[in-house]
Amino acid sequence: MSWFSGFEKIVRTDVPLREYTWYKLGGPARWFCEPRDEDELAALLTRFRADNIPWRILGGGANVIVRDAGFDGAVIHPRGPVFERVEFDAEIVNAGAGADFPKLIGAALKHDLVGLEVLAGIPGTVGGAVRMNAGGRYGEIGRFVQTVRLLDVNSQFVTRAADEVGFAYRHTNLDNCIVLGVTLKLQRGDGERALQRYREIVTEKQRDQPALAARSAGSIFKNPPAQPAGRLLDEAGLKGVRIGGAEISTRHANFIIAYDDVTADDVLNLISLAKERVRQATGIELEPEVEIW
């Protein structure tokens, strides 16, 4: 009997993950699980733990590189109305983990709820944004979070206050947890003006970074203290360096762009090369911001 007996309707085998990530590369998930509601998700998690099935949770796939061999385990993809709901109640937004993050910002601005516009140009889901504490030079999502509802390492439904989540630079303490939803506290303000700010930030990113439509996962490395990784990579002469179908962006050295004939190995080898060159030039050990599966 397979481990997913009873879950046949929501588990598919050997599903190519390239279709679910921004990089559009890499191999399949041995099992791909699409739970229809939170109880089904909790039951899956309990089964994984009982049967020692390695698992991962996928949001919008905007920060993930899947290896060419794929992932020899179960990938959970929580999508559909239950996971994507967004509700507004005065200054509070209650959003499911599967909700599209840029769309959530747009909806908040339409409600004249402002604040999140500083997070313009960050693709993916609310769950991924919370897990990564997504952000940039104007702020991070953690500063808006009131509570996070999640399935913890024991498959228990729990609600954690923001200060229990350990929000730090591209970091939370949510390893092995599944974010189900979040409450965000915004401010009542002028949605039109905030939308203007949103557009300015998008324009700024269009000027300094590769096009949003390019195949990438955003920044490859975290910024070490007090210096942008992009500058270190640029000064190490890495802009435009190419391995196979992967190239360090000529516009921003902390982005690796994938072209048609790319493999995950090309991207991973380029990451290793870039890391090594920066280590040799500066002694600084860059740490990946992308998640490698």
Ligand X SMILES: Cc1cc2nc3c(=O)[nH]c(=O)nc-3n(C[C@H](O)[C@H](O)[C@H](O)COP(=O)(O)OP(=O)(O)OC[C@H]3O[C@@H](n4cnc5c(N)ncnc54)[C@H](O)[C@@H]3O)c2cc1C
Given the rule CB under 6 A, which residues bind ligand X? 22, 56-64, 97, 121-125, 127-129, 131-132, 134-136, 174, 178-179, 212, 216-218, 291
Q: Which of 197/279 has CB closer to ligand X?
A: 197
We find the least distance from the C-beta atom of residue 212 to ligand X, in angstroms, to be: 5
Strand order in the sheet with 246-248: 242-243, 246-248, 256-258
Amino acid occupying residue 238: L
Q: Is 117 a catalytic residue?
A: no
Catalytic option among 34, 84, 140, 289: 289
Q: Which of 61/230 has CB closer to ligand X?
A: 61
Contact 257, 218 (CB under 8 A): no
Q: Which of 179/184 has CB closer to ligand X?
A: 179
Catalytic option among 170, 197, 251, 279: 170
We find the least distance from the C-beta atom of residue 183 to ligand X, in angstroms, to be: 15
We find the least distance from the C-beta atom of residue 176 to ligand X, in angstroms, to be: 9
Distance CA 288, CA 291 (A): 7
Beta-sheet pairing, 246-248 with 28-33 = unpaired
Q: What angle (nearest 5°) sits at the alpha carbon of residue 139, between those of residues 135 and 140?
A: 45
Q: Is 170 a catalytic residue?
A: yes
Q: Is 160 a catalytic residue?
A: no
Burial 153-187 (b: 16+ CB within 10 A, else e): eebeeeebebeebebeebbbebeebbbbbbbbbbe
Catalytic option among 155, 216, 219, 249: 219
Helix (H, G, I), strand (E, B) or coil at 110: helix
Closest CA to 186 of 279, 114, 293: 114
Q: Which of 174/262 has CB closer to ligand X?
A: 174
We find the least distance from the C-beta atom of residue 6 to ligand X, in angstroms, to be: 23
Helix (H, G, I), strand (E, B) or coil at 286: coil
Question: Catalytic amino acids?
Answer: 170, 219, 289
